[in-house]
Amino acid sequence: MVFHQILKFWILENRMTKRTNLYQNKYRIASARHPTWDYGAAGAYFVTVCTRGRLCWFGEVNDGEMNLSPIGELVQSEWFKTPNMRPDMNLVLGVFQVMPNHFHGIIIIGLDKTNDHDVSAGVNQFGPQSNNLASIIRGIKSSVTTKVRKMDHHAASDFAWQSRFHDHIIRDEASYQRISNYIIQNTANWNSDKFHRQ
């Protein structure tokens, strides 16, 4: 009887190992987040969020000025609503710019009851994501997408976001100023921007 239980356990374990090794992380995309940083921690973050395929849904740049489309106006509106939607996170918005196929922004997460701890403790783990940078970006993207789907426009059903986003942890005043200037100058430099598409 004991042998049968051991055999059954061994067969189950062997099946699980085969499933685990089946793709050998071939289809797993490495996280773009810093592995030991708590993204719910108080701090300043620079984010860039793109549309899928970097399609220009948000408007166009003419003579160094961004002319927002209705979807671009939604993105801008949702960004500015974010601190009111998450009052428990003590958010402060820094410089922000919607571009034709992406947006850049600086967001500062303030101290609150959920993040008053050592941020270098290596707590960035997979699991439920709330009250952190990813949940903020997910909320903006979700709200914009929901509202776009309700628009009476034939192309609205094709709108989509790139699944991931870029972030940079801003660690000092010089970095904050450099990134702010980059965002402010983004429309003037659109033709040479790496995100530029016609």
- What's the whole-number mean pLDDT along residues 186-191? 87
Query: Which of the pair, 198 or 40, is modelled with greater confidence?
Result: 40
pLDDT of residue 40: 76
One-letter amino acid for residue 140 of the chain: I
> Can you give the residue ranges of every domain in the chain?
32-114+127-192
- What's the whole-number mean pLDDT along residues 138-154? 88
Interval 24-70: pLDDT, tens = 555 444 545 555 567 677 889 999 999 999 999 999 999 999 999 99
- What's the whole-number mean pLDDT along residues 164-191? 91
Class of domain 32-114+127-192: alpha beta
Q: Is the pLDDT of residue 16 over 70?
A: no
Q: Is the pLDDT of residue 120 over 80?
A: no
Which residue pairs from 120-129 have beta carbons closer than 8 angstroms and sit at least 24 positions apart in sequence?
A: 120/36, 120/37, 121/36, 121/38, 122/35, 122/36, 123/38, 124/33, 124/34, 124/35, 124/36, 124/37, 124/38, 124/39
Residue 180 · residue 104 · CB < 8 Å: no
pLDDT of residue 10: 43
Overall pTM > 0.85 = no
